[in-house]
Amino acid sequence: MNIQLNNRVCLVTGGDRGIGRSIVQSLAASGGVVAFFYRTHEDFAGELEKEVAATGGRARAFQADVTDEAAVGEAVRTIHDEMGPIEILINNAGVNRDRSFAKMTTEEWDDVIAVNLRGTFLVTKAVLPNLIEAGWGRIVNISSIVGQRGNFGQANYAASKAGLLGMTKALAV
């Protein structure tokens, strides 16, 4: 990334692995002060904190399940109090529970919608006062082409990502 974040406070959900991990590294390398959520992989989160620190960046892990409104609110308040108001939010946390629609369970449907769509709603809602306080902000929601085109065995995932695309458009106007 060829941008300078000049110590802007960033929050990345699902930041401990995969795409989220790369986002955390890029934001920190660009001068961001990065907080990131992880749900269960404390070891990955700790490794990432050390990797970022070794390159001169700043990143801090917070255990928070994006589907838990109280946990999200508490983590966002802690980030605000200890790091400053969040100015950049990257909603990256996501799961899939792929199965043909005929065999998909209600639990599989609900899990994917809860993390991918409701989680984005909860985190964005909690962070919004920070953006207003800072007088500047950006929200980036990580979606998928599956939200536009669908894919066999991914009705729950496609619905969650289509909903996320709609929410993103609604927030942008």
The catalytic site residues sit at 157
Residue corresponding to tokens 């289509």: 162
Residues 6+ apart with CB under 8 A from 81: none
Compute the Cα dihedral for 38, 43, 48, 54 and give only its sign. Answer: positive
Compute the Cα dihedral for 168, 64, 75, 17 and give only its sign. Answer: negative
Distance CA 6, CA 42 (A): 28
Distance CA 108, CA 139 (A): 27
Nearest to 138 by CA among 106, 107, 94, 168: 168
